[in-house]
């Protein structure tokens, strides 16, 4: 990854006489995994906590400096070696590297009364400890400066991926496919949802996943009609469908894939009818998407399509009723986070988005979602999940050929 180029692009977005400060924040205490700070990693490639990156644009010049931990040999016996200066220079592609003990005083020296100080703001209303909030208050107690929310600047950069980022998400999808094949190899009535989930876990780890994009959804029967069902605690019943929403991550980049399978290997006529509606809706979005669309516009196209198809099968009488059976968006940006740190503006070439139509019909005991990851090009898109089977014929044939695996 060219981290130096990423910072250069960010400098171009910053105003004159401004400073942008990034903290490698630790996750909150109740975080489900001990994870790196994505924004800091995006700009440096360094996966440590509590380091600081400072970008200064002043007097027509751009300066950048990385601040890392002092060496603590006693602590390293417990938690492992921290990065050294020369390694940090090489990884982050940066010339100046200092110690975090000095970053605050160095910033104070650069501040004038008209300096703009960019900080990242929390995206939600949680009360987790915020490095930026504390730092901003401390700076204001020392100097009169203007603090600016820098989210939009970094979101604009992260909204567009390069070929290397796309290749990492493609790799994450290849690994995810291995996990889904392991599920298909073992799917049968009588298993628990958590048991079939375990086959995915083992397969992606064996094939090089560096983590999960998010906690796996394995929702059978009526559970598939709940969008974010995550208990994975019920028994798989003969004749039911099971909806999987899952993804491997690879070198911090996420796959986000949904597939819906018949537990016994064969779709019923009604299940197949609904499944084909969802699948054809997904294909419609894939054919349609290109730069200039917004994800909201793509969602309206899908709703219009569902309104026609659901009337045909007698499920609804009016377009307004679509929301009873489809109640989420068809796309979100994807990258280092499953729901990436991005601007939801008109799509540009290089964006990577999900394509995830679904129908959830409790009265028919049917929940179906089919999701792929699309890399937006100048004239359309590339499906990064194209190798993961989803046609009814392919799924049924795969499950029929498993032999004694089940």
376-386, pLDDT tens digit by residue?
A: 999 999 999 99
Work out the widest C-alpha separation in the chain, in whole angstroms: 74
Do 136 and 215 lie in one domain? The reply is no
Tell me the CB-side half-sphere exposure of residue 82, using CA atoms within 13 A: 18
Tokens of 304: 């219009």
Total tally of structural domains belonging to the chain: 2
Report the pLDDT value the prediction gives residue 123, as an integer from 0 to 100.
60
Tokens of 88: 């940090």
Last residue in a domain, options 125, 158, 191: 158
CA–CA distance, 191 with 315 (Å, rounded to integer): 32
CATH number at residue 111: 3.40.350.10
Do 144 and 222 lie in one domain? The reply is no
- pTM for the full model? 0.91
Do 240 and 113 lie in one domain? The reply is no
- Does 31 score more than 50 pLDDT? no
Do 66 and 208 lie in one domain? The reply is no
Average pLDDT value for the chain: 92
Mean pLDDT throughout 26-50?
78
Residue (of 91, 406, 365) closest to 237 by Cα position? 365
- Does 124 score more than 80 pLDDT? no
Last residue in a domain, options 127, 158, 189: 158
Confidence of residue 130 (pLDDT cuts 50, 70, 90): low
Residue (of 56, 52, 54) closest to 67 by Cα position? 52
CATH number at residue 234: 3.90.230.10
Do 146 and 194 lie in one domain? The reply is no
Confidence of residue 403 (pLDDT cuts 50, 70, 90): low
Tokens of 151: 């989210």
346-379: burial string, b at 16+ Cβ within 10 Å, e else: ebeebbbbbbbbbbbbeebbbbbbbbbbbbbeee
CA–CA distance, 300 with 44 (Å, rounded to integer): 38
Do 246 and 358 lie in one domain? The reply is yes
Do 252 and 120 lie in one domain? The reply is no
**DSSP for 91-145, written as a single string:** HHT-S-EEEGGGHHHHHHHH--TT-EEEE---SS------HHHHHHHHHHHHS--
Q: What is the pLDDT of residues 276-292, one digit of tens each?
A: 999 999 999 999 999 99
Do 171 and 141 lie in one domain? The reply is no
Q: What is the pLDDT of residues 86-101, one digit of tens each?
A: 999 999 999 999 999 9
Confidence of residue 136 (pLDDT cuts 50, 70, 90): confident
Do 362 and 327 lie in one domain? The reply is yes
Do 252 and 391 lie in one domain? The reply is yes
Do 137 and 207 lie in one domain? The reply is no
Report the pLDDT value the prediction gives residue 278, as an integer from 0 to 100.
98
Residue 304 is part of which domain span? Answer: 163-405
Do 143 and 249 lie in one domain? The reply is no
Last residue in a domain, options 116, 132, 158: 158
């Amino acid at each position: 990854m060219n981290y130096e180029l990423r910072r250069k692009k960010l400098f171009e977005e910053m105003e004159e006489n401004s400073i942008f400060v990034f903290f490698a924040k630790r996750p909150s205490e109740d975080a489900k995994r001990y994870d790196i700070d994505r924004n800091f990693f995006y700009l440096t490639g360094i996966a440590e906590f509590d380091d600081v990156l400072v970008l200064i644009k002043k007097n027509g010049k751009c300066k950048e400096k990385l601040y890392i931990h002092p060496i603590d040999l006693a602590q390293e016996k417990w938690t492992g070696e921290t990065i050294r200066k020369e390694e940090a220079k090489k990884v982050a592609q940066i010339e100046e590297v200092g110690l975090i003990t000095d970053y605050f005083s160095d910033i104070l020296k650069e501040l004038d009364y008209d300096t703009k100080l960019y900080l990242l703001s929390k995206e939600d209303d949680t009360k987790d400890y915020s490095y930026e909030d504390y730092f901003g208050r401390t700076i204001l107690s020392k100097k009169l400066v203007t603090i600016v929310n820098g989210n939009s600047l970094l979101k604009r950069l992260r909204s567009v991926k390069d070929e290397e980022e796309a290749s990492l998400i493609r790799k994450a999808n290849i690994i995810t496919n291995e996990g889904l094949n392991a599920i298909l190899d073992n799917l049968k009535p009588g298993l628990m949802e958590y048991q079939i989930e375990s086959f995915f876990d083992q397969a992606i780890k064996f094939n090089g996943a560096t983590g999960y994009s998010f906690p796996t959804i394995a929702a059978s029967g009526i559970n598939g009609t709940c969008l974010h069902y995550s208990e994975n605690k019920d028994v798989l019943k003969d004749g039911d469908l099971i909806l999987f929403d899952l993804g491997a991550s690879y070198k911090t980049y996420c796959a986000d894939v949904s597939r819906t399978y018949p537990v016994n290997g064969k779709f019923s006529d009604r299940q197949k009818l609904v499944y084909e509606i969802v699948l054809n809706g997904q294909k419609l979005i894939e054919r349609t998407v290109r730069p200039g669309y917004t994800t909201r516009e793509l969602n309206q196209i899908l709703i219009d399509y569902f309104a026609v198809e659901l009337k045909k099968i007698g499920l609804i009488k009016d377009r307004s009723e679509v929301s009873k059976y489809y109640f989420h968006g068809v796309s979100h940006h994807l990258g280092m986070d499953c729901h990436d740190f991005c601007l939801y503006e008109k799509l540009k070439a290089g964006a990577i988005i999900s394509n995830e139509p679904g129908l959830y019909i409790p009265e028919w005991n049917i929940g179906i979602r089919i999701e792929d990851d699309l890399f937006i090009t100048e004239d359309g898109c590339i499906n990064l999940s194209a190798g993961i089977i989803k046609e009814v014929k392919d799924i049924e044939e795969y499950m029929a050929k498993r032999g004694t695996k089940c």
